[in-house]
Chains A and B, each alone.
Chain A
């Protein structure tokens, strides 16, 4: 649409006038003593702080010990001249590994967050759905570590504030689950609690007050960070390349898309979208030399 000049001029004048009014209003607001950093309400500040805690690669989950199948994948896909770069292999693997984690584990994280009281069943069902020894070992080790971090470091600082909010169903669930873990009921091994990472991540991020979407996003992001860091230590990527992988918009979109895709998937329908992943992860035990536990 073409506007005649006088009209356009008047519109521009109006915009300038409005902007001036906006600035004035803002400055008056500051004068009135609200000159604080933005959005520091109690809850969102808490969530940011928690997010930083959980996103820290120094969070003692022992994740550095696991490559989630990367090491085995690379051993199964040796470059044809041995000197060729393994970076394309790494990218293929990362893509598959992330999809696989999202389709198998993310529904359990979401479900445990939404229904903390079901943690015991979710833990059992996740265990039943993870028939690969190596993957189970990695998941249980990190799940137990997360529970320890909660118990020893976070609990005293978070439990009291959650209790005051009368929203203690998740705290009760975590206490009951820890009791079960300490005093397992008699019975065959398949009826014992395991403490897998995916459901516990959901439960504990809820206790810590992280919004569900952030919890899910961070769950996937942490996996990418772990695999990428494993690639650095396996001399596949350089540290700058690794940061570039983590920073890439492609990764951001993919995690976002996966969270959206799995948002409403029931745990019964969680499944292997990359069945070969089980072969690679399972065959990790057969590597002649290995630097990782998975």
Chain B
């Protein structure tokens, strides 16, 4: 994309976010275009004072874009196509304002969809921490988030791109008694390594996380409704972490996962006096007790250069609180991207 003008696409639902780098180190939103029903809002970028100290060329200006839809939700047959590109070393926060509501469809065949493809240059970093998707009863929705990161050389040289993206879905309008009553919800997250230099072959799949909840299914899955498959959870999500910027955060999740109390162990110290315990331990204990109260289950895995966190809880609020407390306790997202990055977790 070398043209300074927005592509003259008039297709409904199409949008483009193009974050370029003005030499030496000023990131600018070169393109921000969108068509109904998609709406993008970019508040003025904020300077974040303490970027990672080792690298002085890291841009400190952080751009934020809100992904919105007219009416606060996606109607049946709405198709949204968003293309995002981040120039090398730039940083972007993508947020939503409130949960993405998926309104009911007149029939099973009327699909609504949101497709987002993000291409990140070397050293670029994306934080995408939206509110959860909230599919109403009888809705049919599919979304796909496809991220392209530069592939590293055979010895792991070259600068990778960093991702901190969350994808979560709730059972619908719990207050109205909806409990995973949609017809279909699918969400796909893919990360592809794309060769940049010569001699590197095309694309290679690094990660695919594809959730398909179809109320119909065949005889195989259909006999178990989605609610039964979700085992009492009201929200389920995946957090994908990758790259140098989020290395510490990924390590934090792995360490905390390792420190969870063992299932089936006796809690000898349940009523023990807490003396001479570091603050960190007290905070952790408090968080773990809250996890039990919220029915929050989570697991973290470090595979293929990613840390992948999966979590589920009885209510959205429980999951939100947990995610926020984890990210705040570790602190690097706030330090590197500013408070705004965690807006959807408030």
Contact = CB atoms under 8 A, between A and B. Distances in A.
B285 to A, nearest CB: 16
Contacts of B154: 185-188
A271 interface: yes
A190 B208 contact: no
B1 interface: no
Given A254-B220, A286-B263, A287-B263, A132 B207 contact: no
A288 interface: yes
Given A131-B207, A271-B210, A75 B304 contact: no
Specify the main secondary structure of chain B where it touches its partner: strand
Nearest to B303: A131
Contacts of B41: none
A288 B264 contact: yes
Interface stretch (A11-19, A24-32, A52-60, A255-263): A255-263
A283 B219 contact: no
Interface stretch (A110-118, A164-172, A230-238, A272-280): A272-280
A131 B209 contact: yes
Contacts of B188: 271
Interface string A50-80: 0000000000000000000000100110000
Interface in B201-217: 204-214, 217
B306 interface: yes
Given A258-B220, A261-B217, A273-B214, A75 B236 contact: no
Contact-residue bracket for chain B: 35 or more
A72 B152 CA distance: 37
B274 interface: no
B301 interface: yes
A124 interface: yes
B310 A282 contact: yes
Given A276-B230, A288-B263, A288-B265, A257 B210 contact: no
Interface string B216-230: 011111011000011
Contacts of B297: 76, 279, 283
A260 to B, nearest CB: 7
B306 A95 contact: no
**Shortest 4 CB-CB distances between A and B: which pairs?**
A282-B299, A271-B210, A261-B218, A257-B219
Interface of A: 72, 75-76, 95-96, 98-99, 102-103, 124-125, 127-129, 131-133, 136, 185-191, 253-254, 257-258, 260-261, 268-276, 278-279, 282-283, 286-289
Given A99-B224, A124-B205, A188-B156, 6 more contacts: A98-B220, A131-B303, A131-B308, A261-B219, A261-B221, A275-B211
Interface of B: 152, 154-156, 186, 188, 193, 204-214, 217-221, 223-224, 229-231, 233, 236, 257, 260-265, 297-306, 308, 310-312
13 contacts: A75-B263, A75-B264, A99-B221, A128-B207, A129-B207, A189-B305, A258-B220, A261-B220, A269-B212, A272-B210, A275-B310, A288-B263, A288-B264
